[in-house]
């Protein structure tokens, strides 16, 4: 997914859509993979069939919106408008808390991955931060619903999704936060990409099939071969259509990226099993199995 700048500009995005339409008109084959995925009407067509098909400015706008994680141009446009209001966020205190908490969590994850310090102490710190995040976000949600870019600033909305997604030790809170995100989508309060990720994560923790197939397990075996562990997914035949609509690449592209990362970061079976154990503990402690 492409990331919007801190002060997104609708005219810039419109020029991006016009450039995409122009490339299609000029039979630029390099854009076929992009529009062939994110314009779901082109699914299953060859590059030449895509170039021979009608592709309007409205189609191009929709593709651009999905590249940035929004399901439609209208929702992207609303996010940009609220981002303009967010140059002076209405809840500065919440903004500061969320940005600081994201930094704390990211530093903790880096230390864990680099195996710095005692593993149990890192897990205890994560648990403590998760509970603290749940507490202050519950209060924020009571005041604002899902705090959009006008409340915390456009650059903080992704951080809010990250912090909310890491407040994992309360299944009821996770369910509430994903519902609030879903309600905020039509008015441009958050992008569909982050909502899909948190929704799938909740479903996996609850031992239910995912909707967007965003959760994977992966490792390199003793022979150096890439092994992918996939969770059950609803309606797998239409999975890539659903992924395109919320700004995710196809499953095939994501698998290639996972294989590359597994090699570069040396994901072995022991690491995978460790992660699964942590995930199962979170599922039990957070009360997901009773959902």
More confident residue, 20 or 87: 20
Q: What is the pLDDT of residue 154?
A: 93
Q: pLDDT tens, 248-267?
A: 999 999 988 888 888 888 78
More confident residue, 225 or 72: 72
Arithmetic mean of pLDDT over the chain: 92
Q: What is the mean pLDDT of residues 184-200?
A: 96
> Cα separation of 291 and 287, whole Å?
7
> Cα separation of 100 and 32, whole Å?
40
pLDDT tier for residue 220 given thresholds of 50, 70 and 90: confident
Q: pLDDT tens, 86-118?
A: 889 999 999 999 999 999 999 988 887 666 667
14 has a pLDDT exceeding 80? yes
Q: How many CB atoms lie within 10 A of CB 270?
A: 9
291 has a pLDDT exceeding 60? no
Q: What is the mean pLDDT of residues 165-191?
A: 95
Rounded to the nearest 5°, which phi and psi values hold at 225? Answer: -85, 140
Q: What is the mean pLDDT of residues 14-41?
A: 97
Q: What is the pLDDT of residue 117?
A: 63
Q: How many CB atoms lie within 10 A of CB 30?
A: 8
75 has a pLDDT exceeding 70? yes
Q: What is the pLDDT of residue 230?
A: 82
- Tokens 């650059």 — which residue? 155
Q: What is the mean pLDDT of residues 34-42?
A: 97
Alpha helix ranges (H) inside the chain: 10-25, 32-38, 47-52, 57-67, 73-85, 92-113, 119-144, 149-152, 154-165, 171-184, 192-205, 239-245, 251-264, 269-285
């Amino acid at each position: 997914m492409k990331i919007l700048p801190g002060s997104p500009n609708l005219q810039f995005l419109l020029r991006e859509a016009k450039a995409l339409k122009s490339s299609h008109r000029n039979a630029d084959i390099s854009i076929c993979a992009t529009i062939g995925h994110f314009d779901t009407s082109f699914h299953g067509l060859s590059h030449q069939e895509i170039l021979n098909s009608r592709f309007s400015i409205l189609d191009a706008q929709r593709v651009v919106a999905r590249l940035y994680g929004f399901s439609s141009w209208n929702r992207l446009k609303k996010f940009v408008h609220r981002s303009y209001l967010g140059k002076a966020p209405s809840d500065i205190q919440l903004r500061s808390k969320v940005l600081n908490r994201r930094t704390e969590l990211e530093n903790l994850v880096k230390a864990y991955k680099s195996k710095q310090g005692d593993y149990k102490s890192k897990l205890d710190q994560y648990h403590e931060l998760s509970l603290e995040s749940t507490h202050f976000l519950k209060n924020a949600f009571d005041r604002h619903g899902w705090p959009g870019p006008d409340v915390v600033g456009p650059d903080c909305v992704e951080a809010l999704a990250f912090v909310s997604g890491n407040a994992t030790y309360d299944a009821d809170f996770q369910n509430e936060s994903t519902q609030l995100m879903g309600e905020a989508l039509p008015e441009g309060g958050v992008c569909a990409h982050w909502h899909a990720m948190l929704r799938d994560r909740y479903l996996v923790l609850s031992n239910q099939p995912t909707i967007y197939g965003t959760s994977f397990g992966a490792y390199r075996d003793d022979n150096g071969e890439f092994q992918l562990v996939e969770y059950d997914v609803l309606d797998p035949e239409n999975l890539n259509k659903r992924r395109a609509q919320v700004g995710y690449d196809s499953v095939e592209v994501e698998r290639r990226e996972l294989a590359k990362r597994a090699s570069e970061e040396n994901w072995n079976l022991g690491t995978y099993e460790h992660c699964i154990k942590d995930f199962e503990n979170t599922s039990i402690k957070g009360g997901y199995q009773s959902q």
